[in-house]
Amino acid sequence: MSSSNPSSEAPNKLPPTELELETFTAVDSVLQNYLSSSPIYKLLLSTIVLDSASAGRVSLKLIVLPIHVNSKSVLHGSLSATIVDLVGGLVVASTGSPKTGMSTDMHVSFVAAAREGDTLCIEGIAERVGGTLAFTRVRIEKQDVGTGARSLVATGSHTKYLK
């Protein structure tokens, strides 16, 4: 697993601020901790890459591997749910919260298929992070190799208990 360097952004983007670099580093540290301490994350998401992180937002990429697909050769629903779970915690971490919380509620809507070799672009946002609960949303899209266009694969909402 490797992370993108936020300072190597596309030429048309402004360089990241010091706060964005700090947030990226903090979120990447949480991601590395998740991957090393959680057997399910290590098994399924060891190749996920953190692209960017700012307060209340994270962006990651994952290439769909054979371990990620079901018997119909499309992205397994349990992987989408696992992504929503992981990204919900990373979004909370991006807000500076000292705790990433425990899941109390999670919903995943499966919209379209992704196949082995597809690149998933994953975006997470914090809708609200309070003292006790955090509410996050996650979008999982696949990116067309030729055009770069994205199409929705799944969406999720994730509520976390922070105490």
pLDDT tens string 74-108? 999 999 999 999 999 999 999 999 999 999 999 99
Mean pLDDT on 50-69: 98
Please state, in angstroms and as integers, the Cα–Cα distance from residue 62 to each residue in 87, 114, 122, 129, 153, following that order. Answer: 12, 11, 8, 26, 13
Distance (Å, whole) CA 124 – CA 34: 16
Residue 4: its pLDDT value, please? Answer: 55
Residue boundaries of the structural domains of the chain: 15-161
Angle formed at CA 119 by CA 114 and CA 152, multiple of 5 degrees? 50
Q: What is the mean pLDDT of the chain?
A: 93
CATH number of 15-161: 3.10.129.10
Confirm if 46 and 3 have CB atoms less than 8 A apart. no
pLDDT at 160 over 90: yes
> Nearest-CA neighbor of 125 among 133, 137, 114?
137
Mean pLDDT on 143-158: 97
